[in-house]
Structure 1
C-alpha cells in the first residue's frame, strides 16, 4: 500500500490556535508547506521549512506537488478543502489512499451558524474564479443562497444581477472574515446595496424575494419561448419539453447539441442540474452570439460552444452520454459519426420538420431501431373577435438508445 505523503489541512481565520491536536501534529511533521500568503503567514516566524506559495495559474503549483510525490507535503487550505476547495483539485490527480484530509468548518457551515439557516435547505455555489452569471439559474422566490465570493466586488455584482432579474427586494447579508477577530456582517437589500468597503474574504447570503408581478423561470424543461433571443430557429416550448424528456438528463452527463440554433436544448439540459454539461455545435455565426447570450442570461455560462458544421465539427469532442440533432440531419455521414461517438447506453434524439428529414430518420430507424413519434401542437390564437386553433409545424422525433 502506498504511504500517505500529502496532507491537506483546513484552517480558519483563527489560525493555528483553532486547529485540533491532530491537525497541528500533521502540520508539524511535514517537510514542505504549501499555501497562500495569508495561510503561510499564520506559521511561526522562525519556521525554516520549505514553503511553496500558490502560483497563478494554480495548476503550476499542482503539477509541482505531483512531481514531488512521496515527499512529506502539507497543504494549508481555507475551511473545508473538499467544499469548492483545493482538496477537490488535488483529489482528481492523486489517489485518496495517498492523502490525509483534515477539514475545518466550511464557509457555508459558519454562515448557517450565523444566520440560523439549515444547510440542507439552502442553495450553495461559488463565484470564486467562475462566471457571475452562474447565479442566474439559482434565483427563484424564497430561495436561500450561500455564495462563495470572488472578492470585495462580488456583493455588488450579485446585487445588480438580483435587481435586474426583478428580485431587488432580496435581502443580502455579507459575512466577512468569519471565525476571526475581525468578523463583520453587513446587510441591505439588493436594490439598495451601496456598501463599497468590503473585505476581500467574504461570503454572501441571499434571501430571494421577487418583485410584484415577476414570473419565476422554472428549472424544469420548457421555458417560455420569450426567455430566448433567437432568429426563429428555436425549438418551441412544448416540443422542447418533450425533447428533454426523451433525452432524459441525469447529473454529470454530457450532451452534444448538434445544430444548436439559439442553444435552447443544451441550455435546458444544463439547467436540470449544475453538474450537467453540454456542447452546442452551430455553423451559423450570427446564432453563436444568441447561444452565448442565452447561456449567460439563463445561468449556464459554462456551455461549450463550437462553431462549425457537423459532422466535421464533432471531431475530437469528448464522448457524449446523449446527442440531440436539431438541424442538418441530411448531412452526409452525420449519423455514422454520432452513433460511433455515443457511449453504450447513451440516447440519441433527432427532430425534423421536413419530408426529406423524415426520410433520413426512417433510414436510421431501419438500421438501429428506436421509436418514431409525430408531435403536433396547436395553440389558441385570436381570429377576429374569437379564438381559434392554429397548428404549429409538425415535428417528427426519433429516439434510440444505443445497446451496450
Structure 2
C-alpha cells in the first residue's frame, strides 16, 4: 500500500469471531499487511483468511503502541479489539497516538458486551451504569451502588464475580442479585445468577460480564449521590470536615468533569473523596503530612468507590511541587505555614477556585486580610445540633468555620502577599 494512504483500521470482534463480522470488517482484515491484537483475538481468525503478518500486543500494552505502529509505518495496519473499540477499548489509545482523521484512523465497531448484556437482560442501556475493573480496582464499583440501580461490571477475569459479591456484601448491598453472562454472542454463551451475600459459585469463563441489580440491606448506611455524605461513612480520628460544612465547601469548589483538585491538609480525605465522586473523570490529590492519616485517606477513598484518589504524604507547600496544576484547591489545614497560600495560588489555573476553611483566630485573621485585599467571598458557617438537655431538647453549637472562597479570574494575577 502507498504510505501516503496507509490507514490504521480498528476492527471490533466479538466472541463469535470471524462468522460474526460484517463484510466491511472482513475486507479490512483481508487487506491488511499487519494484523495486531491480543492472542485470544488473533486466534479467532481462521487460518488462510487474513494473509497479513500477525503481531500480538506486547505487555504492558499502552506504552508499546507508538513504537509498534512506528515499526509498521507505511503498511496497512488492522488492529483487533473486543466489541466496540471506542468503549473502554484500544480505540482511544490509537486515536491519541495517530489522530482521529479519516485518513489516520478508521474504526469498524462490533456490538459491545454491554449491548449484548442489556439485550439479554432486558435492561435499557441508557439507564444502566457501567463500571470496568479491567486493570482497575474492584473498589471502583462502590461509587455506583445505589438502591434500585442496575450496574454492569466489565470483568477482569474468572475471579471477578466472587470479588464483586464480596464487595457488595461488605458495602451493605448483600441482597443484590447478580447475573454472570459468559462468552456473550458466541455459541458457548451461558449465564448463571445468585444473591451476592450467598455467592459460592466456582469461577467460570474468564470472558464475562457481571450484572448487578442493586439492593441495599435495611441496616446499611445510606450513601447518597451528592456531597455531604454522613460523617459515619468515614474512618477518622476527629480530623474530618463535618457533613454540613463539607457540603458547603464542595459547593464553593464547584467540581466539573475532568477537573483536578488539590486537597491540602487532607485529614480523613473527605473533600477529595467527594470531589471525585461527583464525576468519574474528576481527579484529586490529597496532601497529608501524617503517614497514619495518609493511609486512612487511602482506605476511605477505596471504601467509597474512588481508589484513584492520589495521596501525597508530606508537608505543604514542599509536597505540592510535583503535582499537576489544579483547577481547584482546598486548604483545610496548615494555613499559617509560610508560603502555603502563595504556592497554591501560583499553581492554580486561570479561572480556578481556591477555598480555605479555618476555626482558629490566627488563620481567620489571615483569610480576612486576603479577602480585604483580593476579594472573593468570606463566609462564617455555623451549625448547631439538637441534643438532650435533662428531659428537654436544646441546641449544641459546633465551632464556627470561617471560609474564604475566591476565583482566580476575580483578582489581580500578581497576587501581592
Same fold (TM over 0.5): yes
Q: Does structure 2 conserve the Cα–Cα contact (< 8 Å) formed by 1:4 and 1:99? A: no
CA distance in 2, matches of 1:61, 1:403: 41
1:29 corresponds to 2:35: no
Deviation at 1:60, TM superposition (A): 4.3
Aligned position for 2:56: 53
1:12 corresponds to 2:18: no
CA distance in 1, matches of 2:296, 2:157: 30
Deviation at 1:38, TM superposition (A): 1.2
SS of corresponding position for 1:350: strand
Aligned position for 1:88: 92
CA distance in 1, matches of 2:14, 2:373: 60
Deviation at 1:93, TM superposition (A): 2.4
Distance 1:4 1:397, change over 3 A: farther
Deviation at 1:273, TM superposition (A): 1.1
CA distance in 2, matches of 1:154, 1:402: 45
Aligned position for 1:63: 66
Runs of at least 4 residues off by over 4 Å: none
Aligned position for 1:78: 82
SS of corresponding position for 1:191: helix
Q: Which of 302-311 and 356-365 deviates more? A: 356-365
Q: Structure 2 matches for 1:241-256, cutoff 5 A?
A: 241-256=247-262
Aligned position for 2:413: none
CA distance in 2, matches of 1:18, 1:365: 65
1:123 corresponds to 2:125: no
Q: Structure 2 matches for 1:260-271, cutoff 5 A?
A: 260-271=266-277
SS of corresponding position for 2:97: coil
SS of corresponding position for 2:210: strand
Distance 1:213 1:66, change over 3 A: same
SS of corresponding position for 1:301: coil
371, 379, 387: which one aligns with 2:385: 379
Aligned residues: 404
CA distance in 2, matches of 1:320, 1:384: 50
Deviation at 1:4, TM superposition (A): 5.3
Aligned position for 1:38: 40
Aligned position for 2:359: 353
Distance 1:224 1:60, change over 3 A: closer
TM-score between the two structures when normalised by the length of structure 2 = 0.94
Unaligned runs of 5+ in 2: 411-417
- Superimposed CA distance per residue, residues 42-73 of structure 1 (whole angstroms, 9 cap, x where no aligned partner): 22324553222122111243133342344321
CA distance in 1, matches of 2:45, 2:85: 19
Aligned position for 1:326: 332
User: How well do the aligned residues superpose, as a CA RMSD in angstroms?
Assistant: 1.5
SS of corresponding position for 1:76: strand
Q: Does structure 1 conserve the Cα–Cα contact (< 8 Å) formed by 2:30 and 2:52? A: no
CA distance in 1, matches of 2:87, 2:222: 29
Distance 1:66 1:328, change over 3 A: farther
Q: Does structure 1 conserve the Cα–Cα contact (< 8 Å) formed by 2:221 and 2:233? A: no
Q: Does structure 2 conserve the Cα–Cα contact (< 8 Å) formed by 1:4 and 1:100? A: no
1:165 corresponds to 2:171: yes
TM-score between the two structures when normalised by the length of structure 1 = 0.97
Deviation at 1:166, TM superposition (A): 2.2
1:190 corresponds to 2:185: no
Deviation at 1:3, TM superposition (A): 4.2
CA distance in 2, matches of 1:34, 1:146: 28
CA distance in 2, matches of 1:199, 1:96: 35
SS of corresponding position for 1:288: helix
Q: Which of 59-68 and 112-121 deviates more? A: 59-68
CA distance in 2, matches of 1:138, 1:128: 16
CA distance in 2, matches of 1:231, 1:70: 61
Q: Does structure 2 conserve the Cα–Cα contact (< 8 Å) formed by 1:225 and 1:236? A: yes
CA distance in 2, matches of 1:190, 1:330: 49
CA distance in 2, matches of 1:310, 1:61: 36
CA distance in 1, matches of 2:44, 2:242: 57
CA distance in 2, matches of 1:156, 1:108: 20
- Superimposed CA distance per residue, residues 124-163 of structure 1 (whole angstroms, 9 cap, x where no aligned partner): 1101110010011111110100110010010011111111
Deviation at 1:248, TM superposition (A): 0.6
SS of corresponding position for 1:150: coil
Q: Structure 2 matches for 1:194-273, cutoff 5 A?
A: 194-273=200-279
